[in-house]
Chains A and B, each alone.
Chain A
Amino acid sequence: MSSAVLQSSTRGRATTESVAVLVCLLALWWLASHLQWVSKVFLPTPEATLESLVQGLSTGELAGFTWDTVVRMLLGWLLASAIGTALGALIGASATARTWIAPTLEFLRPLPASAVMPLAISLFGLSGGMVLSVVAFGAMWPVLLATVHGLASVHVRLREVATALQLSRTAFVFKIGLPNALPDILAGMRLSMTVSLIVAVVGEMIASQSGLGQAILLAARSFRASELFAGIVLLGAIGFVSNALLALLEHQFLKWQRH
Chain B
Amino acid sequence: MRPWVFPLLLLALLEAAARWLVPGSDALAPPSQALLAFGKALSASGDDSVLQATAFTLSSAALGLLLGAALGVTLGLVLGLSRRAAAMGFLSIEVLRPVPSVALIPLAMLVFGFGYRMEISVVAFATFWPLLILTQAAARQVEPQLLEVAHALGLSAWARTTQIVLPAMVPRLFIALRLGVSFALVVAVTVEIAANPSGMGYAMMIAQQSLAPDLMLAWLAWIGVVGFAINALTLRLQRAIAHRMGEPRTGVAP
B residues near A107, Cβ cutoff 8 Å: 7, 224, 228
- Please pick, from B99, B190, B216, the residue contacting A202 in the complex, using a CB distance under 8 A: B190
Cβ of B111 to closest chain A Cβ, rounded Å = 5
For the complex formed, measure the closest distance between the CB of B8 and the CB atoms of chain A, giving whole angstroms: 10
Q: Per-residue CB proximity of A126-170 to B under 8 Å, as 1/0?
A: 000000000000000000000000000000000000000000000
Find out whether the CB atom of B107 lies under 8 angstroms from the CB atom of A201: no
Q: Which B residues are in CB contact (< 8 Å) with A201?
A: 100, 102-103
Bound Cα distance A238, B102 (Å): 14
- In the complex, chain A residues whose CB is within 8 Å of the CB of B193: 112, 114-115, 117-118, 202, 206
Alpha-carbon gap, A213 to B106, bound state (A): 9
Q: Which residue of B lies closest to A108 (CB)?
A: B224
Question: Is B110 a contact partner of A220 (Cβ separation < 8 A)?
Answer: yes
- Kindly report which residue of chain B lies nearest to residue A234, judged by CB atoms: B103
Known: A194-B100, A220-B106. A122 touches B216 (CB 8 A): yes
Q: A21-B88, A110-B186 are in contact. Are A220 and B208 (CB under 8 A)?
A: no
Interface size for chain A: under 10, 10 to 19, 20 to 34, or 35 or more residues?
35 or more
Task: Decide if B111 touches A216 in the complex (CB within 8 Å).
Answer: no
Q: Provide the residues of chain B in CB contact with A83, threshold 8 Å.
A: none
Alpha-carbon gap, A212 to B106, bound state (A): 11
Contacts of B216 in A (CB 8 A): 118-119, 122
- A253: Cβ under 8 A from any B Cβ: no
Interface hit among A53-61, A98-106, A175-183: A98-106
Kindly state whether residue A1 has any CB partner on chain B within 8 Å: no
B66 contacts partner chain A, Cβ-Cβ < 8 Å: no
- CB-CB under 8 A from A232, the residues of chain B are 99, 103-104, 107
Which of B68-76, B89-97, B163-171, B236-244 has 4 or more CB atoms under 8 Å from chain A?
A: B89-97
Chain B residues, CB < 8 A from A22: 91-92, 95
Chain A: minimal CB distance from B87 (Å)? 4
A197 within 8 A of partner (CB): yes
Whether A25 contacts B92 by the Cβ 8 Å rule is: yes
For A213, list chain B residues within 8 Å (CB): 102
Q: Are A21 and B91 in contact (CB under 8 A)?
A: yes
Residues of A within 8 A of B84 (CB): 14, 17
Whether, in the assembled complex, B231 has its beta carbon less than 8 Å from a beta carbon of chain A, the answer is yes
- Residue from A110, A113, A231 in contact with B231 in the complex, judged by beta carbons closer than 8 Å: A110
B interface residues (Cβ-Cβ under 8 A, vs A): 2-3, 5-7, 10, 26-28, 84, 87-92, 94-96, 98-107, 109-111, 182, 185-186, 189-190, 193-195, 201, 204-205, 207-208, 211, 213, 216-217, 220, 223-224, 227-228, 231
Known: A14-B84, A197-B100. 12 other contacts (CB 8 A): A14-B88, A18-B88, A21-B91, A22-B92, A42-B107, A103-B6, A113-B186, A114-B189, A122-B211, A194-B100, A232-B99, A232-B103
Chain A residues in contact with chain B, CB under 8 A? 14, 17-22, 25, 41-42, 99-101, 103-104, 107-108, 110-119, 121-123, 194, 197-198, 201-202, 205-206, 212-213, 216-217, 219-221, 223, 225, 228-229, 231-232, 235-240, 243
Return 24 A-B CB contacts under 8 Å, by A number: A18-B87, A21-B89, A41-B110, A103-B3, A107-B224, A107-B228, A110-B224, A114-B190, A114-B193, A115-B204, A122-B26, A198-B102, A205-B105, A205-B106, A212-B103, A216-B103, A219-B106, A225-B110, A236-B100, A237-B98, A238-B98, A239-B98, A240-B95, A243-B98
